[in-house]
């Protein structure tokens, strides 16, 4: 009976694999390892599982990938963010913009008022 070290892993988001279980391959070619049912998958519970044999004298490096829906489904949560360019900007930005634009328009009105006042004072002298 030849035993081969076999590793079962799953594909992670930014890396190739995350080891999930390590076991010994039996003579009939089966590997029985406990699969963690709390492992998060995608929104349907699908997870990519890899089985690989490394540095074997007979087989060399063997790797096999497959997807299966044994994982825990993780619902897709749409995060609503209010950004500067969005129509739903953060309220502090909206209030700051209103105050600043109001100050600018107040100065425009004040300058026009002073120009009119100067012209009226010129006619009275």
Tell whether 12 and 56 lie within a shared domain: yes
Question: Does some domain include residue 74?
Answer: no
Q: What is the pTM of this model?
A: 0.44
Predicted local confidence at residue 17, as pLDDT: 57
Higher pLDDT, 22 or 110: 110
Question: How many structural domains comprise the chain?
Answer: 2
Tell whether 40 and 96 lie within a shared domain: no
Question: 39-43: long-range contacts (C-beta < 8 A, 24 or more apart)?
Answer: 39/10, 39/70, 39/71, 39/72, 40/71, 40/72, 40/74, 41/69, 41/70, 41/71, 41/72, 41/73, 41/74, 42/71, 42/73, 42/74, 43/73, 43/74, 43/75, 43/76
pLDDT band at 83 (very low <50, low <70, confident <90, very high): low
Q: What is the Cα–Cα distance from 70 to 96, expressed in whole angstroms?
A: 51
The stretch 79-91 carries a mean pLDDT of 71
Q: What is the pLDDT of residues 26-80, one digit of tens each?
A: 777 777 777 777 888 888 888 887 777 778 787 788 888 888 888 888 888 887 7
Range of the domain at 57: 4-68
> Could you say which of 29, 47, 68 is where a domain stops?
68
The stretch 104-121 carries a mean pLDDT of 95
Q: What is the pLDDT of residues 7-41, one digit of tens each?
A: 555 555 555 555 656 666 677 777 777 777 788 88
Predicted local confidence at residue 98, as pLDDT: 92
pLDDT at 2 exceeding the cut of 50: no
């Amino acid at each position: 009976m030849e035993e081969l070290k076999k590793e079962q892993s799953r594909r992670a988001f930014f890396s190739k694999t995350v080891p999930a279980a390590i076991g010994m391959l039996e003579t009939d070619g089966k590997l029985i390892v406990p699969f963690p049912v709390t492992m998060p998958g995608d929104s349907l519970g699908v997870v990519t599982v890899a089985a690989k044999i490394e540095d074997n004298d007979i087989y060399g490096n063997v790797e096999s990938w497959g997807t299966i829906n044994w994982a825990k489904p993780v619902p897709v949560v749409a995060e609503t963010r209010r950004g500067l360019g969005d129509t739903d900007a953060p309220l502090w930005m909206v209030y700051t913009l209103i105050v600043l634009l109001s100050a600018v328009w107040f100065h425009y009105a004040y300058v026009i008022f002073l120009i009119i006042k100067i012209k009226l004072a010129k006619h009275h002298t």
